[in-house]
Copies of this chain bind each other. A is one copy, B any other.
Amino acid sequence: MSDTRRAERREQILNAAWSCFQREGLHATTMDDIISASGLSSGAVYGYFPSKEALILAAVTVSLSGIRDLLDPLLKRDPLPPPETLLCEITSTIERFTERDGFDLKRIALLGWSEAQRNPQLRATMRGFYMAFRDKLAQAGRTWAETGLISPQSSSDDVSKALLAVILGFVVQAALLGDVAPAAIGVGVAQLSLFSQPSSRSRRSGRGQTPVREKK
């Protein structure tokens, strides 16, 4: 059997799995659900994925790759758009990913995060993905600092954490509340800080109860 055919079958199964996972959640989906949806026999499915866990891992990994392939080009542009614009583009891309394939990436992400709590391999995969993504955001932060779009004193580490938080938070909020347009987030972030004081002052604003954060 050709590699192409095998890859096709794997995708066929993975697609079936995703549509079930999305409808029922990761655990409430039974292998029989996936098997029926895939149109194959149980034995055939197990010939491609050795266990339900492997199927979940593969499904998450493939989703992660898919979204990375869409997001990476946005971050590699020269010149890089300013923060608010980039943010809008990222959230819009996430939103469009959903619309195109019929899979709601946002809901899927929530399922994966939950599962990662108790599946070490999945957790490792996810950590790897998000860490790498945040590194790219940090690079963007440095680029902005160099080109004067944000303060030259800014910490690329903090900036990347804030950016990632905003993006992940968009995903959660959109999945749970469903009334968040992709552009709203970028706009809101911009408005939020327009009149903020210089960050040197912010640093001092930490109160006793605020854990001291490591300087990078």
Contacts and interface: CB of A to CB of B under 8 A. Distances in A.
Given A92-B209, A116-B176, A151-B195, 18 more contacts: A24-B118, A25-B117, A84-B193, A107-B117, A127-B177, A151-B191, A161-B173, A161-B188, A162-B192, A163-B192, A165-B166, A182-B211, A183-B210, A183-B213, A186-B202, A187-B213, A190-B199, A190-B202
Contact of A28 (B24, B111, B118): B118
A205 interface: yes
Interface stretch (A9-17, A34-42, A152-160): A152-160
A207 interface: yes
A61 to B, nearest CB: 15
Interface string A112-126: 011111100001001
A176 B172 CA distance: 14
Interface string A82-98: 11110011001101100
A122 B181 CA distance: 23
Interface in A17-54: 22-28
A71 interface: no
A190 B191 contact: no
Given A154-B194, A157-B184, A183-B213, A85 B206 contact: yes
